[in-house]
Structure 1
């Protein structure tokens, strides 16, 4: 009986199945991708690092740190720094990451170079490996030379990849590998140079790495050094992709929730139409259990079939993710497909279809045989305790599933709570709307207008079901769109035409005047000449930093205690700064107490307020200061911003170096300036912001594509759900429209009645859903993303009229059979 009835209702049930397929496809594809990503991170963690563990320091290790490093007997070491290099053959210059390596590194994985032998011979031959893309860009080949500082070396190979180098950082500063013993000859490691020392270790016993890290990390921390294990690296990489994963999980959850809405609304209308047939079956002797099982088997079978199809589509979809995210993954993602996700998809399809169809299914249990003779359209109602039990089961399912995806109980509870509140508000609006139009019925309207309004509150109406389905669909689609805009707004980057686009770093005091002259000689402006003084915190609020480090109950963040601050001094604020506490002090005279200005994030992390004392160690000289003001800094602006700013008249005599900025009109001017400065001042580093903008914008474009793809996939699911819900509702109106035609109504009148009814439903549901989406998106922006919310006009201009028009078109398509055929033919066909 279930099979026969399903064959007669295959169109309605196929639309019901579509909701399941799309929701399951989204969940399976994203879960399988996340599982593959985590497995790859675990299996390739040693290859990613190239060693079992590393000790690194942002400065030359102290005597105590060096003693710890030597006692562990490193098998390889490296000093790396960012610098300008020149190609004598083409005259080109480029900012690169120079890596001076000694020893047989890497221990895991390999340096992929062309020719392959170059990775093993570059140290003994005294040559360098240059990034392969960089060699193509500057038209240089193996055998040509490269100038690094004051040293010219032969290029012995093209570097394709190596452990420890990510694609994104290599795009901004491509790697150049050289023997460590030749680094000093470049004379690039001067005062203020940004450099990093790394020591690589390979051990046979990797089980005790965590114990080693726990024992040595506090000791190295006191010496401003760190110990990183390969397992810690894989965990950090996992967290790096956590935000992308969270958004994908959110999109999958919304797609599944939309599928659940489609199931609930479709089955509600479908079963409501079947109640008379069930009453007839019971008159013929069918038991409650038999009539219930007929439709339970139908729904369960469709759930299993839809889950299987959705799981297979999901397996195919997840193969796309490695291609989309290849620029962010520092390894080649190996895809493995198991039967578990497909099994989960099938079980999930069965469970969600039965659970969300259970309430209308239970109506079949309480149908009386006398309902065949009754005129009432309300039918039997299940007891209140049954409804509450089903609703509780649905809420528990949604919470557990969202918690499984989001891995945060509070967020899962908040999301489910917001969905329930939205559902209740939509149902309340729909019920309130029907009561209002019933009370204030427009008696003086035309027949067609009155009939369309009557359809909204008379028996057998579909107002509440469709308004909830349309409104919740619009709410989720709009919320996802607004969330996408918030995420993408965090990734916007661009350069203003009047801002500096060339930054010259590591300028020594004796070079300032000469470099400024070289810039102005090319008719370029010197936009800023910023002094930098390096220092560390010695005391915070009277307590030694070393004592704070050892305090397990400290309220000061660890980075503050270990950070080497690059500070500046000036007598004015810049555009990206706003004083939010205290008073700005532009200048101090000799002998006056030193007051400083700190950024708001430093104030929070160091637990500092206006008036608190801070002692800095400035190149071995202790300087007592007091927090005079706290600044809010807009770090998104591409310019030099500082956490600590001194007033003028304090640090002028301290050891320092400078940063100069200028503005070049085009690529040729930039290349000419860089070649001139690098040839005369090899120690300086030059950052061309235009090149960085190009790289970053290309990366962000791919991020935007991934976010947009998943957002629109879920939106597409929502559209399918709406189509299914509205399409299924057509069977409630066929008999009424046939009776109207029998009584003499013309096709144009039936068309107008139907059009106005669905116009009211589409407009009411989409407007309320969009308004609720605005509120929820504002809460997400302020509470979760900590970003200002500027709503896009797209949902108002596209989604609102688009969904309303979609509802109208589907509603009108529902009555084609009535308009094209005779009343008797329609009734026979639908029976």
Structure 2
């Protein structure tokens, strides 16, 4: 098609659209819902990942961290760390906190910090005060900043005292925000922050104690944390410490976000594919309703290629409108989610427009639209000019032009490649594509089987049943499309129910019939007799 014909097609499409959008509202809704889901999930994931990168030093607690289990750093090791930059020493372990009467106890995550903590970020306490003021010694007691959950568990209020080991600590503040909380890994109890001197007074540090020492550094400007980590490993190859830089501040949180983004994106793509069936049905119905207009254009000498281009331009115009609307909704998802996730995520969501996820969602929407609309648009070629003067029934087998068939195949392959290539886990993306293709093929065959079965049942004596069966296999009957739409939609619902049921069953099956009510950690050999 030359430039003149293309401009003519656009002009005719514009005139056609001035008469109303007809049945394209469903088409528009299907595109908006699917693309908005993908764009929203991608934008939210990108905003959280951006927050992780910006807050990486806060999450780790430094530019780099050297972690030792069960032993503190030796003299030479500590000297090397102290010479590298500003150093903060932290000790973490699990312990039991008990009330003064000893009648109530709770497992806690104990964290002993020095005066330099935190190197990055701020520990927010309630009532508002500095961490040093909350945990220093006043009179006979060291202080402690605690997770609010421990107050409820032990039935205490701020100002009361608890016993941790041999030390008596006064509860002076609750922890509102702990910047490096996500770097600690799995926790079994509420957090209690004390001073290093209070930990020494508790008597919990003894040979065999399950304590982890964290040495965090604020490196001078110009020193690359990765290069420093290599020097530390080379200088002390037998130290046995684990060294992380701020680029690896919270790998578990990063993996969680990546997996959630992957699966939610696949859910959004599933919704878009299910909507694709609705897109195809809506376009087919729209073209069927334009039979008289198509016949008129052909009577006036318009070739089939020009008529096809007119309606292709109309469909693409509405597709772009739906995609742009969906991208606007998707870009707003982080803004709407920010207040809901502020107290759940250890990082702040970085608001902004992220072109990558939006472009990916737009490409998914465009490819899906093309895959599901070219086939029904091919029906324009089967509308004769004589349809303007008499109603016709298309009894011939519907043959799709080779060009449309080839284009649909290429676009389908492109959509599958995009789904696999954009997935963080290519294997999951591949199985998703295989499952989607298998489901579409299965329900398409099921629709053909329903039509064949209705045709072979003959002519029942009851008129209502005879008419019902005839409507299932008559020319132009939407039986196959209905079976495909219902089948794909129910497949999604069943898949969600099965995943939920399997997860619940997995938890139930892994729990023993008789599980202990309590478990104890860090029992010393001289304490075994008491158990």
Contact map agreement 1:61 1:225 (CA 8 A) in 2: no
Residues 1:402 and 1:445: Cα distance change in structure 2 (over 3 Å)? farther
- Structure 2 distance, partners of 1:442, 1:327, is 65
Structure-to-structure mapping, 1:301-312, within 5 angstroms: 301-312=317-328
Q: In structure 1, what is the equivalent of residue 122 of structure 2?
A: 110
- Structure 2 distance, partners of 1:42, 1:375, is 64
Q: In structure 2, what is the equivalent of residue 27 of structure 1?
A: 38
How many angstroms does 1:255 deviate by?
Answer: 1.2
Residues 1:325 and 1:2: Cα distance change in structure 2 (over 3 Å)? same
- Structure 2 distance, partners of 1:490, 1:315, is 36
Per-residue CA distance 1:765-824 (angstroms, 9 max, x = gap): xxxxxxxxxxxxxxxxxxxxxxxxxxxxxxxxxxxxxxxxxxxxxxxxxxxxxxxxxxxx
Matched, 1:499 2:499: no
- Structure 1 distance, partners of 2:223, 2:381, is 60
Structure-to-structure mapping, 1:152-171, within 5 angstroms: 152-166=168-182
Name the SS of the counterpart of 1:505 in structure 2. coil
Matched, 1:37 2:48: yes
Contact map agreement 2:26 2:279 (CA 8 A) in 1: no
Flag structure 1 segments of 5+ consecutive residues without an equivalent.
Answer: 517-831
Q: In structure 2, what is the equivalent of residue 408 of structure 1?
A: 425
Q: In structure 2, what is the equivalent of residue 224 of structure 1?
A: 240
Contact map agreement 2:44 2:333 (CA 8 A) in 1: no
- Structure 2 distance, partners of 1:393, 1:323, is 40
- Structure 2 distance, partners of 1:352, 1:498, is 52
Name the SS of the counterpart of 1:504 in structure 2. coil
Matched, 1:389 2:407: yes
Q: In structure 2, what is the equivalent of residue 18 of structure 1?
A: 29
Q: In structure 1, what is the equivalent of residue 481 of structure 2?
A: 465
Q: In structure 1, what is the equivalent of residue 4 of structure 2?
A: none
Q: In structure 1, what is the equivalent of residue 6 of structure 2?
A: none
- Structure 2 distance, partners of 1:355, 1:207, is 52
Name the SS of the counterpart of 1:437 in structure 2. helix
Q: In structure 2, what is the equivalent of residue 54 of structure 1?
A: 65
Q: In structure 2, what is the equivalent of residue 259 of structure 1?
A: 275
- Structure 1 distance, partners of 2:230, 2:353, is 37
Q: In structure 1, what is the equivalent of residue 284 of structure 2?
A: 268
Contact map agreement 2:143 2:170 (CA 8 A) in 1: yes
How many angstroms does 1:113 deviate by?
Answer: 2.2
Contact map agreement 2:443 2:483 (CA 8 A) in 1: yes
Q: In structure 2, what is the equivalent of residue 291 of structure 1?
A: 307
- Structure 2 distance, partners of 1:263, 1:345, is 17
Contact map agreement 1:114 1:160 (CA 8 A) in 2: yes
Name the SS of the counterpart of 1:190 in structure 2. coil
How many angstroms does 1:83 deviate by?
Answer: 0.8
Aligned residues: 513
Per-residue CA distance 1:117-141 (angstroms, 9 max, x = gap): 4413356546323215146424645
Q: In structure 2, what is the equivalent of residue 566 of structure 1?
A: none
Structure-to-structure mapping, 1:158-557, within 5 angstroms: 158-166=174-182, 172-205=188-221, 208-217=224-233, 222-322=238-338, 325-326=341-342, 328-337=344-353, 349-350=365-366, 352-365=368-381, 367-370=383-386, 375-378=392-395, 381-404=399-422, 406-438=423-455, 440-487=456-503, 489=505, 498-513=514-529, 515-516=530-531
Per-residue CA distance 1:424-473 (angstroms, 9 max, x = gap): 222223223323432x3333431221121112222122222222222222
Q: In structure 2, what is the equivalent of residue 78 of structure 1?
A: 90
Name the SS of the counterpart of 2:70 in structure 1. coil
How many angstroms does 1:501 deviate by?
Answer: 0.4
Contact map agreement 2:273 2:368 (CA 8 A) in 1: no
What's the TM-score once normalised by structure 2's chain length? 0.84
Residues 1:301 and 1:199: Cα distance change in structure 2 (over 3 Å)? same
Residues 224-233 or 298-307, more deviating:
298-307
Per-residue CA distance 1:382-437 (angstroms, 9 max, x = gap): 42343133222123123314532x23334323322332222222222322332343
Residues 1:340 and 1:24: Cα distance change in structure 2 (over 3 Å)? same
Name the SS of the counterpart of 2:473 in structure 1. coil
- Structure 1 distance, partners of 2:38, 2:251, is 23
Per-residue CA distance 1:46-68 (angstroms, 9 max, x = gap): 11122111111111047575565
- Structure 1 distance, partners of 2:506, 2:259, is 12
Q: In structure 2, what is the equivalent of residue 131 of structure 1?
A: 146
- Structure 2 distance, partners of 1:134, 1:371, is 76
- Structure 2 distance, partners of 1:485, 1:197, is 41
Residues 1:478 and 1:322: Cα distance change in structure 2 (over 3 Å)? farther
Name the SS of the counterpart of 2:125 in structure 1. strand
Name the SS of the counterpart of 1:77 in structure 2. strand
How many angstroms does 1:496 deviate by?
Answer: 6.8
Name the SS of the counterpart of 1:478 in structure 2. helix
How many angstroms does 1:343 deviate by?
Answer: 6.9
How many angstroms does 1:278 deviate by?
Answer: 1.3
Per-residue CA distance 1:292-320 (angstroms, 9 max, x = gap): 23312321222122223323333444445
- Structure 2 distance, partners of 1:477, 1:206, is 54
How many angstroms does 1:106 deviate by?
Answer: 0.9
Contact map agreement 2:97 2:107 (CA 8 A) in 1: yes
Per-residue CA distance 1:238-262 (angstroms, 9 max, x = gap): 1133332222122111111112221
- Structure 2 distance, partners of 1:108, 1:204, is 14
How many angstroms does 1:263 deviate by?
Answer: 0.9
Name the SS of the counterpart of 1:80 in structure 2. strand
Q: Which has the higher contact order (CA 8 A, sep 6+)?
A: 2
Q: In structure 2, what is the equivalent of residue 97 of structure 1?
A: 109
How many angstroms does 1:147 deviate by?
Answer: 2.3
Contact map agreement 2:58 2:120 (CA 8 A) in 1: yes
What's the TM-score once normalised by structure 1's chain length? 0.56
